[in-house]
Amino acid sequence: MDVRALIFDVDGTLADTERDGHRVAFNRAFAEAGIDWHWDVERYGELLAITGGKERMLQHWRDVDRAAADAPGAAERVAALQRAKTAHYVRLIGTGALHLRPGVARLLHQARAAGLRLAIATTTTPDNVTALLRATLGDDAPGWFSCIGAGDVVPRKKPDPGIYRWVLDRLGLAPGRCLAFEDSGNGLRAACGAGLRTVVTPCGYTAGDDFTAAWACLDGLGESDAPASGRVAGAAWRGVVDLDTLRGWARA
């Protein structure tokens, strides 16, 4: 069956945004609010097990002061912090500080030229997605995507498959006609839970996750001067992930 749409995760998959993007924005929001939290690289790595910024902050609050985190008004406090963090993140992305991972822009352009549909399935806030797409691909880039599923449009975040089901529903396509691109164990569980074949390209924080269920697990999408390598259907593979590659894998 031919592939009709590519569905991309954002953080870690399109760009390695967590350590030098989201983490920095959270810390700026904490400092601005006069809160003495600071997430260093290691602590943020632990907290990434919790998907979603609000959920991540609440977990941290519970870890440092359970009674305060469970008190009335805590959710509103976290929501306000999240709004501030999003503003910092969007500003940071707008400076051009972060770049797409190798091969991402190439594959998006190829897929568009070939008439495939593109979609996003992410736990991050919608404004963060449009900021990243605009800063890295141009102002019109959000419009390249038939559907952007992000943040709180579903009640439960990854690893729950809800966000992928939401996107498939809007695309009007069965999972067998689509491929997902992810970087994390939580993301892979979400995509597989929705019945999607998934290409995983782990990044810094997710390198140690379990990717046994991945259709392909590669160190990136590759470019002609720097091919990707990894495993596809259990066998070693090296090359550039383009549409012909993906269609070949899908037929095999």
Catalytic residue among 2, 9, 152, 160: 9
Catalytic annotation on 160?
Answer: no
* 160 makes contact with ligand XBP (CB under 6 A): no
* 158 makes contact with ligand XBP (CB under 6 A): yes
Nearest to 125, CA basis, from 161, 180, 84: 84
Per CB under 6 A, the list member of 7, 22, 93, 135 interacting with ligand XBP is 22
Q: Which is nearer to Mg ion, 52 or 69 (CB)?
A: 52
Backbone angles phi, psi at 160, to 5 degrees: -60, 140
When CB distances are held under 5 to 8 angstroms depending on the partner's kind, the choice from Mg ion, ligand XBP, none that residue 122 binds is ligand XBP
23-32 vs 74-94: helix crossing angle, rounded to 10: 120
* 165 makes contact with ligand XBP (CB under 6 A): no
Nearest to 48, CA basis, from 156, 206, 168, 181: 206
* 175 makes contact with ligand XBP (CB under 6 A): no
Per CB under 6 A, the list member of 162, 175, 187, 230 interacting with ligand XBP is 187
Contacting positions for ligand XBP (CB under 6 A): 9-12, 18, 22, 51-53, 85-86, 122-125, 128, 158, 184, 187
